[in-house]
Amino acid sequence: MASLRSYWRFVLVLRYFLPLIVGYLRDRRRFLVIGRGRTVSSETRRRRAEYLLESLVSLGPTFIKLGQLLSTRPDVLPPEYVDVFSRLQDDVPPADWTDVETLIEEDLGPIEERFDEFDTEAISGASLGQVYRAQVDGEPVAVKVRRPGVQQLIQADLQVIRWLIPLLQRLVDDARAYSLENLADEFDETIREEMDYGRERMILEEVRENFADSEDILIPQSLASHSSDRVLTMEYIDGIKINDLAALEEAGIDRTAVAERLAEAYLQMIVEDGVFHADPHPGNLAVRSDGRIVFYDFGMSGEADAFLQQKIVEFYIAVANRDIDRILDVMVEMGTLSPTADRAVMAEVIELAIQNARGETIDQYRVQRIIQQVQDSIYEFPFRLPRELALVMRVGTITEGVCVTLDPEFDFIDTATGYLSQQGYREETIRRVATEVGSRVREAGSAAIRVPPKLEQTLDRIERENLHVNVDIEDSNGRLQRLTKRVIYGMLTTAGVLSTSFLYAFSTVQATAVVGIGTIAVGYLLVRSFRAGGPSTEFQVEPEFGRQSFQEFASADEDDDSN
């Protein structure tokens, strides 16, 4: 049974969301109940996104995390919302030390006995936890503590989100409604994983082991004896914040080398290891005075299976080779593009993205612009973006931004293809594609031998008029039955109107009234059948990214460039 806190949070959430809900309803019906829908401009969507962003921050930890998740889901939200939510920072004041102290001692025992020293001033605070400095056996450590009471608050908020989903599904189309329902399950799993510091310690140790032989990457070592599901203690590794360019220059660090090594580290995590740090914002990355990169906070992490790893490699190689057809094929195979999309128009979109992403020289690309422009068109297609792929896209975008901050001339695609070639992935991909092409050629040759005799037999049957075609019509939703009823009601209504007019002119009032009442009844049934399930909902065709949309997309891009 839902707690009183859940009901109270539901009322509070509705208070924040009600203006947006009314606005969305008016988009569909200008006067809420009647009237045509209205066109919503990009400025209006951005203004609403800003309001929603402020609401999410005011509602606290759960909704901050929800906003961060939504910033990775262009299949659920329009691009304006994704862009605004990408600025959402998980940086909040730390909780009261007394409550934190109680939590630590419940899990680890008295602080004075477990730690040599413990600084009660938090060095960082987030919505789910906060970090303190301490000492264990004379060595500096960082202690990450789950925010007291946050688990109960999140449980209440997750229930509120469950209650909101049916309401929100009414405001979007069927494809987005499906994504929303799955997003609730995904968010539930994601936020529970991020609160589980035992899981985070396991991921941290796995990534640390994967980079054990690296001279350029540092991953803090965790202390199992001082950790629990709510407390994570790890060695404290200091460093220069990765976007502090002045401090990096003063320390004499080669920023270009750091950018290249950072990109290669993420490629290794995603393409080779299959487990990756999924939150590469500057607060979680530092650089030591010797140039080594330090990774902090593995609460947000992801896993890439063999299929996803292969497709990511193929995508990068296809972009580097400007193989538009292969880019589209990979996007369809990964689930980021509908198979029914207009390939000719999408090829133009991809080509435009690559052209716009070029730097000062013709060979330079900007992967962030490529991903961003593809995301802008993704919202037009009916599909669900898999969670791990969404995390990979987020990591690629943020990492490229950090690398460009370090070195404005940094070329992510060049670094990626160089790394993939060095590891042998590029040659392996070429061999695999060649094998697939050879297999298809053999299949085509075999079909060329089998098809002519069968075609000749079919033509002979047609000539003898001995060809029968059986057609099965599936009508699981009863659409054909409703359409038939409407045709019949329409015919009866038309006949009734004509009969009523004829009787009114040439017969008695009583006869006219009887037929007129019958005609009205049939007309009511006709109108009711349309209200129960009109063509707009029953025979709706999913929107495609048409040529007009492409022209609007291109013109918007030109306006951005001119500004």
pLDDT at 540: 41
pLDDT at 131: 93
Exposed (0-12), middle (13-18) or buried (19+): which is 274, by Cβ within 10 Å?
middle
User: Token pair of 287, please?
Assistant: 């650089």
Dihedral sign (CA 193, 195, 199, 203): positive
pLDDT at 534: 47
User: Token pair of 243, please?
Assistant: 């976007």
111/136 Cα distance (integer angstroms): 11
End-to-end CA distance of the chain: 54
Are residues 253 and 244 in contact, defined by beta-carbon separation less than 8 angstroms? Answer: no
Angle between helices 547-562 and 367-378 (to 10 degrees): 140
356/530 Cα distance (integer angstroms): 47
pLDDT at 273: 92
337/230 Cα distance (integer angstroms): 40
Give every residue of the chain whose pLDDT is below 50, as ranges.
1, 360-366, 382-383, 437, 534-558, 561-563
Indicate which residue of 75, 90, 279, 297 is catalytic: 279
497/510 Cα distance (integer angstroms): 16
186/492 Cα distance (integer angstroms): 51
Match 């057809």 to its residue by tokens: 325
Helical ranges in 272-366 per DSSP H? 306-321, 324-334, 343-356
pLDDT at 370: 54
Match 């896993």 to its residue by tokens: 303
- SS3 of residue 124 by DSSP: strand
Helix H or strand E segment including 146? strand 139-146
Q: Can you name the residues that pair with 136 across neighbouring β-strands?
A: 139
Exposed (0-12), middle (13-18) or buried (19+): which is 330, by Cβ within 10 Å?
buried
Query: How do strand 285-287 and strand 240-241 relate by DSSP bridges?
Result: antiparallel
pLDDT at 24: 76
pLDDT at 221: 95
147/60 Cα distance (integer angstroms): 12
Length of the chain: 563
Angle, CA 353 vertex, CA 351 and CA 358 arms, to 5°: 100
Are residues 313 and 425 in contact, defined by beta-carbon separation less than 8 angstroms? Answer: yes
536: CB partners within 8 A, 6+ apart: none
Angle, CA 413 vertex, CA 407 and CA 416 arms, to 5°: 95
171/50 Cα distance (integer angstroms): 19
**Residue ranges with strand state E in 272-427:** 275-277, 285-287, 293-295, 301-303
Question: Nearest CA to 94 among 118, 126, 119, 65?
Answer: 126
Active site residue 279: yes
Cα 334 to its chain centre, rounded Å, is 13
Query: How do strand 293-295 and strand 217-218 relate by DSSP bridges?
Result: parallel
pLDDT at 416: 84
Exposed (0-12), middle (13-18) or buried (19+): which is 417, by Cβ within 10 Å?
buried
